[in-house]
Structures are given as structure tokens and as C-alpha cells.
Amino acid sequence: MTTSQKEQVAKLSIIIVNFNSGDLLKNCLSSICRHVNVNFEVIVYDNASSDTSISCLTYDHRITILPGKENLGFARANNLAAEIATGEFLHFLNPDILVNQTLSADYHEIFRAGTPSIYVTSLTDTSGNLQKNRHLVPRIGNLARYFVGSSRVAYWNLGASIIIHAEAFRMMGGWPEDYFMYAEDLDFFYRSFKAGIPVYYTDTRLIHIGKGVTHQIWSDGQRASIIERSFKTFYRKYHALWEYFLIRPIQLLYLLANEPGSFPLYAKVFFQTFLKK
């Protein structure tokens, strides 16, 4: 079979976790059906939504809805959807993202490469401003390697739009289910780095509404608490809790310098988490 023939039969599984996404999910699916021109399926795992985000969808044979009985969080829901996915590649996509026509060109390039790799799309806000998506993994050893100019430095990316070869996904054991939400993408890319799975960045820029769902579900304080607990869980998982108490204050100082309005809330949540056993 030639490379072009392989590309034609390669299949993509787009996986979306939904929880009370409202019209965001409908708009996301509409953009996929309108702009994606490769062989694809969409699997939506619904985390027991109480709104009309599922019931208002228009039927499309390429879309499968998996109704959950409870809110399992981001990682567990993605893993359950991936279990029934038939694609050679999996695209984990947030429901508050809009797809455009340039994404299909990247899909074709990824199919042609056919390697067990991870691909990350760039994200913009609704005004077209590029969102920061690439971050250093906050481990002491990794930060030291970065500052001495080492070529072996680990980065993590937001989990809002990640394409991964199904074989690489299985090699990693799926999304880490240690977290209900937040920090699973940090852990995901840290594990891929340790496993030697390469990460590439596509040319496509997708619109990411950002907090399009979470701000409807949790208050700023609740969201900050979940983020803090997840961040602490990451260090506990890798037996480096002492690094959490060292690195987090430094990050808070960075927040104070760059986003002073957010600092009081996150500092308060950090000290509350600090005092908890």
C-alpha cells in the first residue's frame, strides 16, 4: 500500500468530554462536521450533564454519544471514550474549541507520518490572540536542566487540543486518573517525556473560548481550590511533595508580578492547602 493510500484509509477519532457545555458543544461539533475532510468519528462522553447540551444536538452518523451516570472528571471520561475509538489517531478536544479548515491539512500530514507521536495545536482566544500553551514541567531537576541550557528539558501543554497516535496513547496507559480535573495534562506530558514519545506542534491555530465551561460550574474560589489540590497531587504522586512547597511560592510571586489581581485568591488557597494534612 502506498503512502497516499494509507492516508486515505487512516481514521481519526475525535474525543470530547462534555459536562453542561451548552451551545459550546453544539458549535464545536458543527465546526468539525463543516471543516474536517478526513475519515473521522467523534465520540462524546457526557459526564451526566444536567443541561440541554446533549439533547439539542442534531443527529450525525459520525457522532457517538456515551452517556455517563456521574461526573467522572476529564481523564477517566477520556479513557472510557478511547476504549471504543477505532481511529489510528486520537484527537482529544475540549468542547469550547472551534475547528477551522486548516486543521485538515495537519491531519493529512500526521497521517502521512504515521509515527507514535503527540501533536499539539496552537490556541487563540476569540480575538485571535495566541494563548500561552507550552510550559516547563515544574520539577527541580527539569528547571535546573533548562537554566544550564540542556537539550533534554520537559515541557507540558494544555490538554485542550492534543492529537496522539493510538499506539502511543496505549503505551502511556491513557490519561492519568489521579486527578478529577487540572494537572492531568501536566502529568500526561511528563509521562510522555519520560517514555521518550516525541511532541510536535502543528501550524493550525484553533479558537479556544477558555473557561467556557468551568466558569459556569464553579466559582473562581472553587476552581482555584481544585487547581491547587491537583497540583499538589502531581508532586505527591512522584514522591516529591517537598518540591511543591518550594516551587509553588515562586510561582505565586510570578503571579503577583504578572497578574496581581489573581494573586490574593491563589495565595489564600495555597496557604489553606499548605495547612491541610
**pLDDT above 80 for 2:** no
- The pLDDT tens digits for 222-260 are 888 888 999 999 999 999 999 999 999 999 998 889 889
From the list 275, 176, 264, the residue with the least C-alpha distance to 224 is 264
Cα torsion 208, 88, 184, 156 to 10°: value is: -70
**pLDDT above 70 for 214:** no
Q: Between residues 26 and 270, which one has the greater pLDDT?
A: 26
DSSP string, 55-72: TTPPP-TTEEEEE-SS--
Element (H, E) at 229: helix 220-237
* Distance (Å, whole) CA 199 – CA 81: 22
Contacts of 112 (CB under 8 A, 6+ apart): 3, 6, 7
User: What phi-psi label fits residue 128: left (phi over 0), alpha (psi between -120 and 50 degrees) or beta?
Assistant: left
Given this model, what pLDDT does residue 224 score? 86
Query: What would the grid cell of residue 1 be?
Result: 500500500
Which of helix, strand or coil describes residue 38? coil
* Distance (Å, whole) CA 10 – CA 230: 36
Q: Between residues 275 and 115, which one has the greater pLDDT?
A: 115
C-alpha Rg value of the chain to the nearest Å: 19
* Distance (Å, whole) CA 143 – CA 113: 31
Query: What would the grid cell of residue 102 be?
Result: 486548516
Q: Is the dihedral of CA 35, 36, 37, 40 positive or negative?
A: negative
- The pLDDT tens digits for 122-149 are 999 999 999 989 999 999 999 999 999 9
* Distance (Å, whole) CA 147 – CA 11: 41
* Distance (Å, whole) CA 145 – CA 154: 9
**pLDDT band for position 6 (cuts 50, 70, 90):** very low
Alpha helices, DSSP H only, in 43-123? 74-84, 103-113
- The pLDDT tens digits for 77-126 are 999 999 999 999 999 999 999 999 999 999 999 999 989 999 999 999 99
To the nearest 5 percent, what fractions of the chain are helix, strand and coil? Answer: 45, 20, 35
**pLDDT above 90 for 3:** no
